[in-house]
């Protein structure tokens, strides 16, 4: 089975710089069976990508990418919505979700605390308080948001590592109730758990979520998983997909999923 990457940013997002059609070429070169594009849709003024989303431009990029693909690779268009539990009403006034193949919910920022992907918030507060809040907000997000995929759960490890702090702990042991509740809610609501491999290329050298959470998700009956490299630019294109796939297999998952028209599909070619 070919690799599937369900978290690839195109130059339509201000923090990424490779055209979608070029990523399709790269995907074919790298033997990918399917590629899921996302554009950042952030309505939090603190966010670097705040207000950058342009539906028309993104749509044009996807059309060019599909033309380039010519059936050699499946192309899916998605959105990465920042903090949908806080901004979804406004987001839905801007875009029609039915125009997209999938919607991911991404927690980049905590209410009243700030962005967790940078080191700043970890300079002042107790890191464990922040992580505890991160999981409380994640639970809220998956309980109420209209999303298909929970993106990069555990992204705070990037901020911790940048702040020079250790992230070598298991949150399942620290806050078992909240973390398990999140996993149960996504199973109930048919939301996929993304295995984001971008942490493997960073200092923290671990996936989001950590393998222990993946294992618990499977034990609780979870089967819906996606793999995403969170590609933004060279040289890290599709980084860690193979390792992600092996990690899924090692934890008893029979494959990962692709989305079309907001429905999960297994790709077996």
Q: What is the binding site for Zn ion (CB under 5 A)? A: 80, 106, 230
Contact indicator for 226, 7 with CB cutoff of 8 Å? yes
CA pair distance 12, 60, nearest whole angstrom? 10
Residue number, 15 or 188, with CB nearest to Zn ion = 15
d(CA 168, CA 178): 19
- How far out from the chain centre does Cα 176 lie? 22
Minimum CB separation of residue 146 from Zn ion in Å reads 18
**Minimum gap (Å) between residue 104 Cβ and Zn ion:** 8
Handedness of CA 53, 57, 59, 64 (dihedral sign): negative
Distance, CA of 200 to CA of 241 (rounded, Å): 10
Closest approach of Zn ion to the CB of residue 157, in Å: 13
CA geometry: angle 145, 146, 152, nearest 5 deg: 70
Q: Are 213 and 154 in contact (CB under 8 A)?
A: yes
Q: Cα separations (Å) of 162 from 96, 117, 154, 158, 262? A: 36, 9, 14, 6, 35
Least gap, CB of 166 to Zn ion (angstroms): 22
Find the shortest distance in angstroms from Cβ 177 to Zn ion. 25
Minimum CB distance to Zn ion smaller for 158 or for 245:
158
CB of 25 to Zn ion, least distance (A): 21
Residue whose CB is less far from Zn ion, 14 or 215: 14
In the bound state with Zn ion, the residue whose beta carbon lies nearer, of 34 and 155, is 155
Strand residues in the chain grouped as ranges (E): 3-9, 32-41, 74-82, 102-106, 109-110, 114-115, 149-150, 192-196, 225-228, 257-260, 263-266
Q: Which of 6, 106 has the CB closer to Zn ion?
A: 106
Nearer to Zn ion, 184 or 234 (CB): 234
- Residue 64 in tokens: 């060019």
Nearer to Zn ion, 36 or 220 (CB): 36
- By Cβ distance, which residue is nearest to Zn ion? 106
Residue 228 beta carbon to Zn ion: minimum distance, rounded to whole angstroms:
7
Q: Report the sign of the C-alpha dihedral through residues 225, 226, 229, 232, in that order.
A: negative
Nearer to Zn ion, 203 or 233 (CB): 233
Quote the least distance from Cβ 197 to Zn ion, whole Å: 12
Among 196, 203, 204, CA closest to 248: 196
């Amino acid at each position: 089975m070919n690799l599937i990457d369900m978290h690839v940013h195109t130059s339509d997002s201000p923090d990424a710089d490779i055209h979608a059609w070029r990523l399709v070429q790269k995907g074919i070169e790298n033997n990918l069976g399917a590629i899921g594009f996302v554009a950042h849709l952030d309505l939090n003024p603190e966010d670097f990508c705040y207000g950058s989303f342009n539906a028309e431009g993104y749509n044009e990029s996807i059309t060019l990418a599909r033309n380039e693909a010519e059936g050699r690779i499946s192309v899916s268009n998605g959105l990465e919505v920042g903090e949908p539990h806080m901004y979804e009403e406004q987001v839905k006034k801007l875009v029609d979700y039915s125009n997209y193949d999938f919607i991911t919910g991404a927690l980049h920022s905590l209410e009243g605390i700030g962005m967790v992907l940078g080191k700043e918030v970890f300079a002042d507060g107790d890191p464990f308080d922040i992580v505890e809040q991160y999981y409380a907000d994640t639970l809220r997000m998956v309980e109420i948001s209209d999303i298909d995929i929970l993106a990069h759960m555990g992204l705070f490890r990037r901020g911790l590592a940048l702040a020079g702090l250790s992230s070598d702990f298991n949150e399942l042991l620290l806050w078992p109730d909240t973390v398990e509740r999140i996993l149960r809610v996504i199973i109930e609501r048919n939301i996929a758990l993304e295995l984001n491999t971008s942490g493997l290329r960073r200092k923290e050298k671990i996936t989001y979520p950590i393998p222990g959470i993946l294992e618990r998700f499977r034990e609780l009956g979870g089967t819906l998983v996606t793999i995403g490299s969170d590609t933004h630019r060279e040289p890290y294109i599709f980084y860690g997909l193979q390792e992600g796939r092996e990690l899924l297999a090692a934890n008893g998952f029979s494959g990962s999923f692709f989305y079309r028209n907001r429905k999960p599909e297994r790709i077996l070619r």
